[in-house]
Structure 1
């Protein structure tokens, strides 16, 4: 049971109502995470805006979702692991690719570099080395994409913390946490 009220989209007003309607249009439902964030119009606007901005970024949806599951597993976030595994499959990832990403791995060298970087940033609380950024460059990422990876990390840390701290009920098909990357 959630530690806070999950806002019913039918009772929301103003900008919150408009954003929840957009979210419903995108997902075919309003996921509980957004209902929790809707307690703060500013938090909801930030969250939905970040999803929209990064969704149109250069990394692509598949890599964004792979980063999300790697971070979710590191942070024991059942909600994000379930949601992003499903979204990753919709973005073209196989079940195996998502399971590997959850563990911070990939057979694709470019994806593997992005996941290693993301896990390293989370594990080291951003205290990474120049060599970590150089590894991304060696895998073919430019500065725009590197900053975008950091933005994905930040967004996923926010959603992980929101869901774990406030015990938001999972409303996506469950996926087992592995902590394999630990």
Structure 2
């Protein structure tokens, strides 16, 4: 299999160089996964627009989805990045581990996490009881569509890292028991 390296600023298209500069200004560095998307002349801008689009889900809800999807897809890069971002959005270490185990103490967030895990594990299909609980917790059709879009966003990045295995440039996420999520 090809050994992927993270492209430098000089190795990407001029439009991506501008995006690299903006990411560096905003974050202090260009995350390796974003840089890897830079191999595509149009992919990085397209992806960032998709990722940063408005959603009916809060940032905290999006991070919970990002974490459980990354756990189900076993993407170390995204688990690590979203553990850090989850902390920035107010989750405690224990809450982050619980989400990665497929549960949350808050009933509404728990319904979201369980449905996101079900959608991911079953490739877009989920048990009717998970969908019913999602709606019973106050979520709407708009939230369901936005949940699916969030799952698709994170699945794409999980697949990119799982295939390329580029270096993780975030503090590594702690290990959780695999059987807790996969059952």
Same-fold call, TM > 0.5? Answer: yes
C-alpha distance in structure 2 between counterparts of 1:164 and 1:177, whole Å: 17
Deviating 4+ runs (over 6 angstroms)? none
**Count of paired positions:** 179
Which residue is 1:47 aligned to?
A: 47
C-alpha distance in structure 2 between counterparts of 1:3 and 1:74, whole Å: 25
Q: How does 1:121-160 map to 2 (within 5 A)?
A: 121-160=119-158
Which residue is 1:17 aligned to?
A: 17
- 2:38 is equivalent to residue 38 of structure 1: yes
Which has the larger displacement, 32-41 or 11-20? 11-20
1:102-150 CA-partner distances (Å, limit 9, x unpaired): 1111000111000000000011111224443322111111111111111
2:94 to 96, 106, 110: 96
C-alpha distance in structure 2 between counterparts of 1:110 and 1:14, whole Å: 44
Which has the larger displacement, 170-179 or 146-155? 170-179
SS in 1 for 2:126: coil
C-alpha distance in structure 1 between counterparts of 2:56 and 2:28, whole Å: 25
Structure 2: where are the runs of 5+ without partners?
none
Shift of 1:21: 2.2
C-alpha distance in structure 2 between counterparts of 1:69 and 1:41, whole Å: 28
Q: Is the 8 A contact 2:77 2:168 kept in 1?
A: yes
RMSD (Å) for aligned C-alpha atoms: 1.7
1:76-116 CA-partner distances (Å, limit 9, x unpaired): 11100000000011111111111111111100011100000
Shift of 1:42: 2.6
C-alpha distance in structure 2 between counterparts of 1:96 and 1:9, whole Å: 37
SS in 2 for 1:125: coil
C-alpha distance in structure 2 between counterparts of 1:112 and 1:39, whole Å: 37
